[in-house]
Amino acid sequence: KISSEKDAFAFLRDLLTEKELEEFAHRLTIAHMLHEGYSYKEIEKTTEVSSTTVARVSKFLQGE
């Protein structure tokens, strides 16, 4: 059971490489921004990810 931010970070650090953690963080940010109503262009500019990545996260959130 993960009960703190420290525990969550340690758990994810054990599972993922540094690069994977970075990508995961970007995708969480994208998901949050999509939920808040930001446009794809705003998200691309803010996160410096491709429109393809934004679209993938959006599709996942829509259950596709």
| 2-19 pLDDT, tens digit each | 899 999 989 999 999 999
- Nearest to 32, CA basis, from 18, 16, 43: 43
CB 43 within 8 A of CB 33: yes
pTM: 0.78
Residue 52 scores a pLDDT above 80:
yes
Residue 43 scores a pLDDT above 80:
yes
pLDDT for residue 16:
95
Residue 64 scores a pLDDT above 80:
no
